[in-house]
Structure 1
Amino acid sequence: MLAFVTVGSTRFDGLVHRALSDNVLDTLRSKGYDHLVVQCGNSDFDTSEFTRAGDTWTRQQKGGVLVEVWRFKPTLQEEYKRADLVISHAGSGTILDVLRLQKPLIVVPNSTLMDDHQQELAVSLDDLGHVKAATVQNLLLVIEGFNRATLVPFPAFDGSRFREILDEEMGYPY
């Protein structure tokens, strides 16, 4: 099974370091994951244990988890589709993309960003049951206790709802 971690276009060293830590990799392996792909953006990580081929760093973790790390791709849609679990920063675009694909999602707000807006979104979606919110510090515990069967499916997009809201705001009759 494949777990995919993404930090988006920003720098989120804490999430990258935690995802690549031995204890998180051991926990993922114990839950059946044998492949971890990390989109690290501009984050720094220790490349000394990795082999580089082009834009991708790889290593075989002891215990059998294949780890791939790369910085950017034009789109992450294929990665989301391939993943059995997505662990992501709490950017709204990423969250919507993953939830629309009905993929299980753990969101980790990047508290270093301006006004910590990701925290609000993560908590709200967790309260609704669509995602599991975590912090860098408790990510291991959230992965250990994660049960995708408890997630509430995200509703399908309804384009007419936007029109209704816009009409209401503009004062148009229905």
Structure 2
Amino acid sequence: MLAFVTVGSTRFDSLVQSVLEPSVLASLRRKGYTKLVVQCGNSSFELERSLAFGARNLTLERDGVAIELWKFKPTLQEEYESADLVISHAGSGTILDVLRLGKPLIVVVNPTLLDNHQQELASALADLGHLQHSGIPDLAHTIDNFDPSVLKPFPAFDGSRFANLLDEHMGFS
């Protein structure tokens, strides 16, 4: 099975480093994940130099998990679709893309950001049962205890709701 980690266009050093730690790799392996793909963006981490010298990606094996690391791609749609689990920063665009595909999602909030909008979004969606959220120190434990079967499907997009709201605001209804 495949776990995909993304930090989007941000720098989230602690998430990238965390998913490469033996405890997180062991948790992934216990859950049946044998491949880990990490989109690391501009993060700084122990293997970053290998990517800094022009390599498009880096592949290695660690603790029984095949790992592929790369910085950016024009779209992550293919990775989302092929993943059995997505571990992501708490960016709203990424969260919505993954939830709309019905993929199991663990969101990790970046504590270095200035405001807590990511925490609020992650907590609200976790409270609704659509995803699981975690902090960096708890990631291995979260993976060990994560049961995707209890997640509630995210509602399908309904563009008419926005149109109706706009019509009401403009006095057309």
Q: What's the offset of the Cα at 1:53?
A: 8.4
Q: What's the offset of the Cα at 1:116?
A: 2.2
SS at structure 2 position matched to 1:137: helix
Is residue 85 from structure 1 mapped to residue 97 from structure 2 by the alignment?
no
State the Cα RMSD in Å: 1.8
Deviation string 1:76-125 (CA, Å, 9 cap, x unpaired) is 00000010000000100000100111000000111212212100000000
SS at structure 1 position matched to 2:95: helix
For 1:47-62, what aligned pairs fall within 5 Å after superposition?
Answer: 47=47, 54-62=55-63
Partners in 2 of 1:135 and 1:116 — Cα distance? 13
Partners in 1 of 2:3 and 2:79 — Cα distance? 10
Confirm or deny: 8 A CA contact 1:110 1:116 kept in the other structure. Answer: no
Runs of 4+ off more than 4 Å: 50-53
Higher relative contact order (CA 8 A, sep 6+): 2
For 1:1-174, what aligned pairs fall within 5 Å after superposition?
Answer: 1-47=1-47, 54-62=55-63, 64-173=64-173
Partners in 1 of 2:171 and 2:35 — Cα distance? 52
Which segment is superposed worse, 108-117 or 164-173? 164-173
Partners in 2 of 1:117 and 1:111 — Cα distance? 11
Deviation string 1:42-99 (CA, Å, 9 cap, x unpaired) is 1011128x7998311111113x210111110000000000100000001000001001
Tell me, which stretches of 5 or more residues in structure 2 are unaligned? Answer: none
TM-score computed with the length of structure 1 as normaliser: 0.93
Q: What's the offset of the Cα at 1:141?
A: 1.1
TM-score computed with the length of structure 2 as normaliser: 0.94
Deviation string 1:124-145 (CA, Å, 9 cap, x unpaired) is 0000000001111111111010
- Identity percentage of aligned residues: 61
Deviation string 1:131-160 (CA, Å, 9 cap, x unpaired) is 001111111111010000010000111111
State the one-letter code of the partner of 1:25: L
Partners in 1 of 2:158 and 2:46 — Cα distance? 44
Q: What's the offset of the Cα at 1:163?
A: 0.5
SS at structure 2 position matched to 1:138: helix
Partners in 2 of 1:20 and 1:97 — Cα distance? 24
